[in-house]
Amino acid sequence: MKQNKTLVVIGGGAAGFFCAVNAARMHPQLQVILLEKSSKLLSKVKISGGGRCNVTHACYSIADMIKKYPRGNAFLKKAFHQFFTTDTIEWFAKRGVPLKTEGDGRMFPQSNTSQTIIDCLLQETNRYKVDVRMNSDVKEVRSMVDGQWSTGVTNKFELSLLNGKAIIADYVCIACGGFPKSAQFDWLTKLGHSIEDPVPSLFTFNIPQNNITALMGISVENAVVKIAGTKLQQSGPLLITHWGLSGPAALKLSAWGARELADKNYHFTIHVNWLPEYNENTLKDKIQQLRFDIASQKIINRNPFGIPSRLWEYFLLQSNINMDLRWADLPGKEQNKLIKILCGQEMEVEGKTTFKEEFVTAGGISLNEIDVNTMQSKLIPGLCFAGEILNIDGVTGGFNFQNAWTTGWIAAKNVERPV
């Protein structure tokens, strides 16, 4: 009797689960084992999007979609032709999980809870008999030929676990996510693959020397944030926190500048334009007009720019403007200071803050060693990769999950395909 072959998927996150359940469905003759090193499955899915799971983004153009990936966009341009946003929407809808689109393009389950996505994936593992094993941390993966370790053409893999157990597999998919550089990379490099050094992406800016942090919770709908001395600049909603600045503008900027900001050891200067529709000259003209139009009104009471009142008061204090002053009496020196702050407030960033739901790694397995058509290693037959372990990362908004679904699905489809 012919013995079934075995696929072992390393990593119980979005990419690992998607690879495992699709491989078991598309290749019913395979025994599929999924290994998760912790006691929790799909932990990032659980907490992402504030507990709602930002499944993907309502972008239906591959050319537009790849612009959201600081690293890996050329690779994904080809991969998305196999499994794209529309395929993700259809995949979950067929399993009773319709998605909804919010005003900014982010897509969530209509249930508004990430547990719906988790339940769907777990139901798939049960339906297709995926063997899910928790607390199974992989220590080493060795490629084998006739029971001997080999870097050549393989016919088996041996996976050694920290608990002392070992698993023999015919195919292995590594989908263990992004992580800081550590000993975990050792067994990957021993397989012959190169690693682009990982650094954090999607982090917020710590600004401990600025009392703007007292305004935590206040946000503006649109601001432009620039990194001084670089070409890095992003716009979008900006959120003030008790440690500094967050929100899409800051997160996108951290993604595009991940490596450059790591080189600066996360100490740099930013300039914030709180009123992107103005520059210093046009704002000066606007304020000059205000001094006539609302001359008798107090500046503190008459905020003509739609800025949140507490933030407006902060700007006036930073500009040394007396709170009882009328618009007509605004001195030129204080006026110019207010203009400079509104159009380009300078702040010193000293460090970063990374949250689990935001954490993404820039770096990972070099893409030139991966066949984009199959997600298989070009170096070792039967070995494939999916998700954030690859040198691919996107900005906030569902783009990293789409990478997980796409690469996981392609790996699953082609797991038995000869290299």
Nearest Cα neighbor of 329 from 363, 361, 272, 290 is: 290
CA atoms within 13 A on the CB side of 20: 33
> What pLDDT is stored for residue 185 in this prediction?
67
Identify the residue whose tokens are 């469905």. 25
Identify the residue whose tokens are 């550590």. 182
Q: Give me 326's structure tokens.
A: 């009328």
**CA distance linking residue 367 with residue 75, whole number of Å:** 7
Contact of 385 with 370, CB cutoff 8 Å: yes
Beta strands 31-35 and 131-133, pairing class: parallel
pTM beyond 0.95: no
**CA distance linking residue 214 with residue 211, whole number of Å:** 6
> What pLDDT is stored for residue 416 in this prediction?
85
Question: How many CB atoms within 10 Å of residue 94?
Answer: 8
Question: How many CB atoms within 10 Å of residue 250?
Answer: 28
Distances (CA, A) of 342 to 191, 246, 249, 315, 379: 53, 18, 16, 8, 54
Q: Which amino acid is at 146?
A: D
> What pLDDT is stored for residue 1 in this prediction?
38
With vertex at residue 151, the alpha carbon angle to CA 145 and CA 153, rounded to the nearest 5 degrees, is 55
Identify the residue whose tokens are 């983004």. 57
At the top level of CATH, which class does the domain 203-353 belong to? mainly alpha
- Give backbone dihedrals phi and psi of 396, rounded to 5 degrees, phi first: -70, 145
> What pLDDT is stored for residue 143 in this prediction?
86
Tens digit of pLDDT at every position of the chain (419 positions): 356 899 999 999 999 999 999 999 999 999 999 999 999 999 999 999 889 999 999 999 999 999 999 999 999 999 999 999 999 999 999 999 999 999 999 999 999 999 999 999 999 999 999 999 999 999 989 887 645 555 545 569 999 999 999 999 999 999 988 765 555 667 888 888 999 988 999 999 999 999 999 999 999 999 999 999 999 999 999 999 999 999 999 999 999 999 999 999 999 999 999 999 999 999 999 999 999 999 999 999 988 999 999 999 999 999 999 999 999 999 999 999 999 999 999 999 999 987 555 578 899 999 999 999 999 999 999 999 999 999 999 999 999 999 999 999 999 999 987 65
**CA distance linking residue 52 with residue 115, whole number of Å:** 8
Contact of 252 with 396, CB cutoff 8 Å: yes
Contact of 254 with 204, CB cutoff 8 Å: yes
According to the CATH classification, is domain 6-200+356-413 in 3.50.50.60? yes
Domain spans of the chain, in order of start: 6-200+356-413, 203-353
* DSSP classification of residue 395: -
